[in-house]
Amino acid sequence: MADHAILAGKRVLLVIAGGIAAYKSLELIRRLRERGVTVRAVLTEAGARFVTPLSVQALTEDTVYRDLWSLTDESEMGHIRLSREADLLVVAPATANLLARMAAGMADDLAATVLLATDKPVLVAPAMNVRMWQHAATQANMALLESRGVRRIGPNDGVMACNEYGPGRMAEPMEIVEAIAGVFAAESHRPLAGRRAIVTSGPTHEPIDPVRYIANRSSGKQGHAIAAALAALGAEVTLVSGPTRLPDPAGCRVAHIETAREMLAACEAALPADIAVCAAAVADWRVDGAGDRKLKKDGGAPPALALTENPDILATLSRPGERRPALVVGFAAETGDVLAYATAKRARKGCDWIVANDVSPGTGTFGGSDNTVHLIRADGVESWPTMPKDAVATRLAEAVAEYFTGK
């Protein structure tokens, strides 16, 4: 449980959208104010059909902001000032409609405009009918918002006002208070502030000719999650990514590349750095002499592809020298004898740590959401339980932070 003392003196801008759960937002205002939080509220037009502006005003002891076009609201408190004078924006309830408008970057009412204009953290508490929540459109909108750094609490499972059962109920007010305290705690925990990190992620594509290439099945999920986790701890992160289906993670500078040689060049351009994490599945070989003419079937024997070895980015970054990052971390994807191979790989590449995992068929690691890893350092091996790739990333980022802070 996060320490609620962190809440005292904080300023929350609460956006109340139009859902039956809006009544719980009144309770949320009370719980926040009891803990010393100043709450300002923006009520959407639909929101005002579920709770009265008067109730919101009485509980916040402030004006209720409703209209993008109101001259008085605008002259007294423009939408820019509304977001600037908050430490956190909370959307509760976050309806399917408002999430869609946020994802699309619309600014068609005061709530959407404030959410678009802000550079403050945003926490959403979705509330809607089960099918609306499970709809591919809502799920895609939510995933996009989360990839941009929007935090989410809930929705919970339960019986809803429409008598259906499933996920869609807004989180309870105290759960939202807890999540808000968690956001402030995370914001103040930035042990990697001032450190620069390079993370490689995804596959590389090595051209055979202008239309064909050699690639591999790497999804980039683990590398992208590591970049986001390092950024969340305050590091200034350059993510060098091969082609993936993933959105750019929040808070990182991203260099999009295709080949191993481009990946190396982008990494070298991002130096100097304190930390390098090589999570990319770099193609070991490229096609020698891939030209700019498409290979044609000419009725004869299939073409023989000659391969040349690609540069080893991890080994290059690990090479001793002035520009070597203080901490270089590599990955070892093995199929059997994981610890022995990975320990040998650590020595061969010259890196400081190796994150080793078993990618045998059936483990579901490659492309999957979970990962079972061992962290191999000079002083021994730490085996972590199977967990989501996001959690592996957070734990690795914490280990990196401990390395630098000595804790």
392 in helix, strand or coil?
helix
Measured distance CA(326)–CA(388) in Å, rounded: 28
Q: Which is nearer to ligand CTP, 196 or 345 (CB)?
A: 345
C-alpha torsion sign, points 236, 242, 246, 247: positive
Question: Taking the complex as a whole, how short is the minimal distance between the CB of residue 337 and ligand CTP, in angstroms?
Answer: 10
Two tokens, residue 222: 């683990």
Pairing between β-strand 88-94 and β-strand 11-16 as defined by DSSP bridges: parallel
162 classed as catalytic: yes
Pairing between β-strand 38-43 and β-strand 252-256 as defined by DSSP bridges: unpaired
Q: Which is nearer to ligand CTP, 29 or 226 (CB)?
A: 226
Catalytic residue among 162, 267, 278, 351: 162
Q: Which is nearer to ligand CTP, 326 or 340 (CB)?
A: 340
Residue that has been written with the tokens 């193609």 in this structure: 283
Question: Taking the complex as a whole, how short is the minimal distance between the CB of residue 151 and ligand CTP, in angstroms?
Answer: 30
Q: Kindly write down the DSSP assignment for every residue of 272-302, as one continuous string.
A: S-SEEEE--B--SEEETT--SS-----SSSP
Q: Which is nearer to ligand CTP, 120 or 221 (CB)?
A: 221
Question: Taking the complex as a whole, how short is the minimal distance between the CB of residue 317 and ligand CTP, in angstroms?
Answer: 8
C-alpha torsion sign, points 384, 387, 391, 392: positive
107 in helix, strand or coil?
coil
Question: Taking the complex as a whole, how short is the minimal distance between the CB of residue 225 and ligand CTP, in angstroms?
Answer: 15
CA angle 172, 176, 179 (to 5 degrees): 140
Question: Taking the complex as a whole, how short is the minimal distance between the CB of residue 341 and ligand CTP, in angstroms?
Answer: 6
Q: Using alpha carbons, list the distances in angstroms from residue 220 to 75, 223, 252, 397.
A: 47, 5, 15, 17
Instruction: Please report, as ranges, the residues that interact with ligand CTP according to CB under 6 A.
Output: 200, 260, 278-280, 282, 284, 310, 312-314, 330-333, 345
Q: Which is nearer to ligand CTP, 47 or 330 (CB)?
A: 330
Length of the chain: 407
Active-site residue numbers? 162
